[in-house]
Amino acid sequence: MTIRAVFENGVFRPMEQVKLAEGTVVDLDVIKEAVDVRSLAPPGTDEGLIQVYEILGRRFSSGHHDTAERHNEHQP
């Protein structure tokens, strides 16, 4: 699960509704290299499109160093 939040006054504030029980302990991965898509999007850009660009702009680590090594196992 990914929860987008803003850090304000020493507290992480979720930017949308979060379905977690009170007192749930979570680990946070801070992505400092993320591109601020909102500052690059022209005024009037659809919110859904901006969210898609934000997702595509994140770096993900699958833990696999060579994802293509087993490519042929999943081909018809």
Give pLDDT tens digits along the chain (76 positions).
888 888 888 999 898 899 999 999 998 887 766 678 888 889 999 999 998 888 887 766 666 667 677 777 777 7
Partnered with residue 11 across adjacent β-strands are 8
Between CA 12 and CA 15 the distance in angstroms is 9
Q: Are 44 and 37 in contact (CB under 8 A)?
A: no
What pTM value is reported for the model?
A: 0.39
Between CA 21 and CA 58 the distance in angstroms is 27
